[in-house]
Amino acid sequence: MDHSYLIIRIDDLQNIELHYFFVSSIKLKYNYPTCITINFDKLNSCFSLVSLCYCFNILSTSHKLYIGSEIFKAYLSVKLSQSYIQE
């Protein structure tokens, strides 16, 4: 089971923000998230950037599919001028 979590939000400039909190077994003084901000028109670049990040590569397949579907829902909500709520 993955002990990490991801927060997806849309900022005021219609950019999609990903905040990935990687929970490891090593106790660190600070635990900063990996943050990715990308314009919704460049969705393919977002997936390319996420695939390069080590913390995303070690996730389970179901977790990767969930992240992809949530990013796509955020993209659709921007495109259709709707509000986005992460499930």
Map residue 3 onto helix, strand or coil.
Answer: coil
In order of 2, 16, 46, 72, the CA distances from 41 in angstroms are: 30, 10, 10, 12
Percentage of the chain beyond pLDDT 90 is 8
State the pTM of this model. Answer: 0.76
Gap between the terminal Cα atoms of the chain: 18
- Burial group, residue 13, by CB count within 10 angstroms (0-12, 13-18, 19+): exposed
What integer pLDDT is reported at residue 26 of this predicted model?
Answer: 61
Hey, which of 14-23, 31-40, 65-74 has the most confident mean pLDDT?
A: 65-74
What integer pLDDT is reported at residue 1 of this predicted model?
Answer: 52
Q: Which residue has the higher pLDDT, 30 or 77?
A: 77
What integer pLDDT is reported at residue 20 of this predicted model?
Answer: 83
| Lookup result for tokens 């080590």 | 54
Question: Over 80: is that where the pLDDT of 13 sits?
Answer: yes
